[in-house]
Amino acid sequence: MAAAPPSHLQKRVSQIASGKTIFEKPKSKRGYQGGRKVPTKPRLDRSRGEKADSSGEGSIIADIPKVAKTKKPKLTGEEKAAVVKEKEKAKAAAKAIKVQEQEELKERKRLLKEEEAREKQKEKDRAEVNKLKLDKKLSTPEMIVDLPISIGDTTVDTQIRECLRKIGVEISSYQSPVLNLIKWRRKVNSRFNAETGAREKLRVKEIEPEKHVMCLLSANEFVRLATSDANDVGQHLDEHVSQIRSVFNDCQLIYLIEGLDAWMRKNRNAKNRAYQAAVLGQPDLNALDSTVVPDPGPKRRKPRVETVDEDVIEDSLVRLQVMNRCLVHHAAATVETAEWVAHFTEQISQIPYRYEQMARESTFCMESGQVKCGKDAEDTYINMLLANVRVTGPIAYGISARYPNAVRLHDGLEEKGPTALEHLKKSANKDGSLGERNIGPAISRRLHKVFTEIDPSSTDI
């Protein structure tokens, strides 16, 4: 009796009978996407050099003939050395190019940095040049004072030089065409460009003459010029002015007269003594000539004092200022003369900067301190009302009690007309308590015109 087949064989037989495949591989992730089978790449049949096709046909790769590999010929020692040398040359050339590129990059960075530094320096110089030197300490060192040789080795020359040295002014001497004539020069390092509206720095400093000259005169010299011709008062003084104008035609002439007030006092005292002697019937010994009346006593007679009509001196001063358009200033002593020369130097140094400041302002120049500023909005509003003519403190505070700001005041004046303020009470104090007196119709009409007028040329206030 034959032995029964194993159980696993029976199982396979039953599977074949039912139509199932004998070998069924378990499903794996490879080759499946979303529960469906994805065709895989054909396997390479290494024995024949083909790829397995799904249809069982051979791949076209099998038809391509194989190319036999050729071996490179071996290089000799010289050839190897030449190849190595060529590689080293190429490497050195590449390195040189890289170094050159780095140097060029560094040079470009350096030039760019220098250009930025130059631009910053230009901006700094431009800001420094366009800085208004309204401080005398900044503008005075630009000045050069030319002192005439005619006053050399004198007290006034020594004191003028000492005063100018203290303020840092350069001093030089020159041969003046007219005695005791001082002039000024300026060291210029920038020019004003009208196109850009700013100053531009000059490469080389220039020295330009100023438009002012000063003539130093003592009281006796001025009196001699004023009284040199009795028929035509001031004729020689006019000639003196004309002589200076012929040399400095476009300059402003300044006369600094030393000791004229003291001379006028002495002249007035001499006239009073002569008048008293004439009234008392006594001879005026000062007015007598020593050649006519001999000295009877042992005492020496006082020298004769000549008197001059004060009107002649006053007319000469007025003529000098009005007709000849000269500036006249007085000094009491030599020390004061030297100080005034230094003061004039400081003021002349600021002239171009003052004009430049006025040119930059669109409407007017208002320096600090000319207008009283308020502590807050209310105080500023009160100061604005006080700036109007005939508006006093009680009126301003009375208006602010009814109209606390300028907008409400303008609206009230437009709504109620010129009589809007005439019935308001004046303020008794700053706390806001009102008094018994009204502001009045005149002030009301004036403020109404000021706050509501739209014609800029109107002066009817």
Is 60 a member of any domain?
no
Please state, rounded to an integer, the average pLDDT across all residues of the chain. Answer: 79
| Residues 255, 348 within the same domain | yes
- Max mean pLDDT range (53-62, 198-207, 399-408, 423-432): 399-408
Is 393 a member of any domain?
yes
Is 9 a member of any domain?
no
At 308-321, the pLDDT tens digits run 888 889 999 999 99
User: In which band, very low, low, confident or very high, does the pLDDT at 328 lie, cut at 50, 70 and 90?
Assistant: very high
| Residues 165, 223 within the same domain | yes
Instruction: Return d(Cα 113, Cα 241) in angstroms, integer.
Output: 60
Domain end call among 360, 390, 407: 360
| Of 119 and 184, the one with more pLDDT | 184
- What is the reported pLDDT for 288? 43
Question: Shortest CA distance to 447 belongs to which of 312, 254, 414, 138?
Answer: 414
Is 97 a member of any domain?
no
| Residues 343, 239 within the same domain | yes
Encoded tokens for 42:
């054909």
| Residues 427, 327 within the same domain | no
- What is the reported pLDDT for 4? 58
Is 215 a member of any domain?
yes
Which three-class secondary structure state does DSSP give residue 328?
strand
Q: CA 28 → CA 38, 265, 345, distances in Å? A: 12, 135, 108
Structural domains of the chain, count:
2
Interval 171-179 mean pLDDT = 91
| Residues 340, 415 within the same domain | no
Whether pLDDT at 23 is above 60: no
Whether pLDDT at 304 is above 90: no
Encoded tokens for 45:
């049949």
Whether pLDDT at 200 is above 90: no
| Residues 353, 383 within the same domain | no
Which three-class secondary structure state does DSSP give residue 116?
helix
| Residues 315, 230 within the same domain | yes
Whether pLDDT at 265 is above 70: yes
User: In which band, very low, low, confident or very high, does the pLDDT at 108 lie, cut at 50, 70 and 90?
Assistant: very high
**pTM for this model (two decimals):** 0.54
CATH assignment of the domain containing 413: 1.10.150.670
Interval 7-30 mean pLDDT = 60
Domain end call among 360, 387, 407: 360
| Residues 187, 225 within the same domain | yes
Q: Where are the beta strands (DSSP E) in 117-218?
A: 143-148, 170-174, 181-193, 198-218
**CA–centroid distance for 251 within its chain:** 29
CATH assignment of the domain containing 242: 3.40.50.10130
Is 33 a member of any domain?
no
| Residues 253, 159 within the same domain | yes
User: In which band, very low, low, confident or very high, does the pLDDT at 292 lie, cut at 50, 70 and 90?
Assistant: very low
- What is the reported pLDDT for 291? 43
Domain end call among 330, 360, 390: 360
Q: Which residues of 113-152 are buried (b: 16+ CB within 10 A; e: fewer)?
A: eeeeeeeeeeeeebeebbeebeeeeebbebbbbbbbeebe
Interval 83-89 mean pLDDT = 86
User: In which band, very low, low, confident or very high, does the pLDDT at 360 lie, cut at 50, 70 and 90?
Assistant: low
Whether pLDDT at 409 is above 60: yes
| Residues 288, 418 within the same domain | no
- What is the reported pLDDT for 218? 93
Whether pLDDT at 278 is above 50: yes
Is 267 a member of any domain?
yes
| Of 418 and 301, the one with more pLDDT | 418
Parent domain of 433 = 377-452
* Torsion angle defined by CA atoms of residues 87, 90, 94 and 97, in that order, rounded to the nearest 10 degrees: 160
Interval 384-412 mean pLDDT = 90
Is 218 a member of any domain?
yes
Do 48 and 62 meet the contact criterion of CB atoms below 8 Å apart?
A: yes
| Residues 222, 348 within the same domain | yes
| Residues 313, 169 within the same domain | yes
